[in-house]
Chains A and B, each alone.
Chain A
């Protein structure tokens, strides 16, 4: 309960600070405050997809279904946070570009990424045998993650995009106000903590279901 309470309080303070302490973004106005939620959500999505890939590798190496459950939970959380990043991005887009969806390279690449991971869940549901499902899902997860750096970091920079960049590539510094940077980093830490908590709950649930299923098979 202790860490959960700290996390609850931490993210509540981040929300208050993002509206009351942090100044409006230069050039983006009040809608720019959404950066405090949008970027950390995207960061957690990439982190969770990376962990799904690491667990998929673990499964292929050890053939232990625990790794498969961990990969599945990570892919689920990655998708949840990826949807959150897409929705917050669309809300920001409405304010900055005039409409929610403009098929900007950044929006297109995140839509493609969501479809790639949607196919991962379709694949999992299509195969009944646990070991076969785990093997196929693991190989797919590896291939799916190969597209993540390409779709998240490369495509939006290769094609002309209106999406603002957080890092000033010329001076290699964060292109944001100091107060904003503090709130942003606090949000990044809070979102990572939230991911850890949700991962823990979802994995425990999956493990419990697995144990109950095994007991039922024995009896």
Chain B
């Protein structure tokens, strides 16, 4: 069970990290699109 919990923790942390990274890219892109429209 200990090994399984470790795999669960690694999977969850990897997903959450990836999720916030992609969300940050999405927000940065939105900002770039906004600036490009103003220009």
Is the Cβ of A12 less than 8 Å from the Cβ of B25? Answer: no
Instruction: Provide the residues of chain A in CB contact with B4, threshold 8 Å.
Output: 19, 30
Question: What 1/0 mask marks residues of chain A from 95 to 110 whose CB sits below 8 Å from any chain B CB?
Answer: 0000000000000000
Q: Which 9 A-B pairs have the closest CB atoms?
A: A19-B8, A8-B19, A15-B12, A201-B26, A15-B11, A204-B29, A4-B23, A205-B29, A15-B15
Is the Cβ of B8 less than 8 Å from the Cβ of A201? Answer: no
Known contacts A15-B8, A15-B12, A8 near B29 by CB under 8 Å: no
Residue A111 CB within 8 A of the other chain: no
- Beta-carbon contacts under 8 Å, A162-219 to B: 197-198, 201, 204-205, 208, 211-212
Bin chain A's interface residue count.
Answer: 10 to 19
Q: Chain B residue with minimal CB distance to A37?
A: B11
Instruction: Provide the residues of chain B in CB contact with A212, threshold 8 Å.
Output: 36
| Bound CA span A12–B8, Å | 11
Instruction: Provide the residues of chain B in CB contact with A198, threshold 8 Å.
Output: 22
B-side interface residues, number (CB < 8 Å)? 17
| Bound CA span A4–B29, Å | 15
- B: which residues have CB within 8 A of A? 4-5, 7-8, 11-12, 15-16, 19, 22-23, 25-26, 29, 32-33, 36
Known contacts A4-B26, A20-B8, A198-B22, A12 near B16 by CB under 8 Å: yes
Is the Cβ of A201 less than 8 Å from the Cβ of B29? Answer: yes
Question: What 1/0 mask marks residues of chain A from 139 to 178 whose CB sits below 8 Å from any chain B CB?
Answer: 0000000000000000000000000000000000000000
Least Cβ–Cβ distance between B7 and chain A, in angstroms: 7
Instruction: Provide the residues of chain A in CB contact with B12, threshold 8 Å.
Output: 12, 15-16
Residue A54 CB within 8 A of the other chain: no
Known: A12-B19, A198-B22, A201-B25. 17 other contacts (CB 8 A): A4-B26, A8-B16, A8-B23, A11-B19, A12-B12, A12-B16, A15-B8, A15-B11, A15-B12, A19-B4, A30-B4, A201-B22, A201-B26, A201-B29, A204-B29, A205-B29, A208-B29
